[in-house]
């Protein structure tokens, strides 16, 4: 049986990354100069590169039995991942983060459900959307955005503005790799 795409996550007619992440919306004035946007894009790019480095991108799913060091490398990989998880828990405990909630995002924008006590942003409002991608990353991904829609149920959709070409490309790669992992996981589950 082949992948039929029914579980494909889409936002603004493009593949999207979906997860439960700490996020915050911070209103800002409309005028956000290019210099500030470029600085923010550079910070976001570094954060996305760190996120990418922390993601598990093993080229070999199973240790190669023919390799004399395969088991040693697998044990080291496990220990490093465990250490990163522990450091992440310590960092998360020592830094106050916003409430985690379901969010969907890609290089074009994001969609999330505002909490019942949250003040809903106005359509057209400008702001910064902060997404905490991992516990081991102290800083959030901070993206300039404009509110595209807010429905009666509190579902907010924002389009990103001035994120920078390299940041957008990196976001697209992360979304695509996440999608590919889900397809592979669905195939293995069958």
How many Å apart are CA 64 and CA 81, to the nearest integer? 20
Residues 14 and 108: beta-carbon distance below 8 Å? yes
Query: Which residues does residue 15 pair with via DSSP β-bridges, in sequence order?
Result: 10
pLDDT at 178: 86
One digit per residue, the tens of pLDDT, for the chain of length 190 reads 343 455 678 888 899 999 999 999 999 977 778 899 999 999 999 999 989 887 765 444 455 556 778 888 878 877 777 777 777 677 666 778 898 999 999 999 999 998 777 788 999 999 999 999 988 788 999 999 999 999 988 999 999 999 999 999 999 999 999 888 888 776 666 6
pTM: 0.78
How many Å apart are CA 58 and CA 56, to the nearest integer? 6
Residues 101 and 115: beta-carbon distance below 8 Å? yes
3-state secondary structure of 10: strand
pLDDT at 128: 96
Strand 141-150 with 126-132, pairing: antiparallel
For 158, the token pair is: 């924002």
> Domain-by-domain residue ranges, the chain?
10-189
């Amino acid at each position: 049986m082949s992948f039929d795409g029914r579980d494909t996550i889409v936002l603004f007619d493009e593949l999207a990354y979906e997860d439960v992440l700490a996020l915050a919306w911070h209103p800002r004035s409309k005028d956000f100069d290019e210099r500030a946007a470029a600085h923010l894009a550079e910070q976001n790019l570094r954060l996305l590169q760190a996120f990418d480095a922390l993601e598990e991108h093993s080229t070999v799913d199973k240790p190669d039995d023919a390799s004399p060091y395969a088991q040693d490398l697998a044990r080291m990989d496990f220990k490093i991942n465990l250490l990163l998880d522990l450091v992440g828990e310590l960092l998360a405990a020592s830094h106050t983060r916003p409430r985690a909630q379901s969010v969907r995002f890609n290089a074009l924008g994001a969609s999330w459900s505002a909490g019942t006590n949250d003040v809903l942003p106005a359509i057209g409002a400008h702001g910064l959307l902060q997404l905490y991608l991992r516990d081991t990353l102290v800083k959030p991904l901070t993206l300039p955005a404009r509110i595209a829609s807010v429905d009666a149920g509190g579902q907010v959709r924002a389009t990103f503005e001035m994120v920078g070409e390299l940041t957008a490309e990196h976001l697209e790669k992360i979304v695509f790799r996440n999608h590919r992992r889900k397809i592979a996981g669905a195939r293995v589950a069958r």
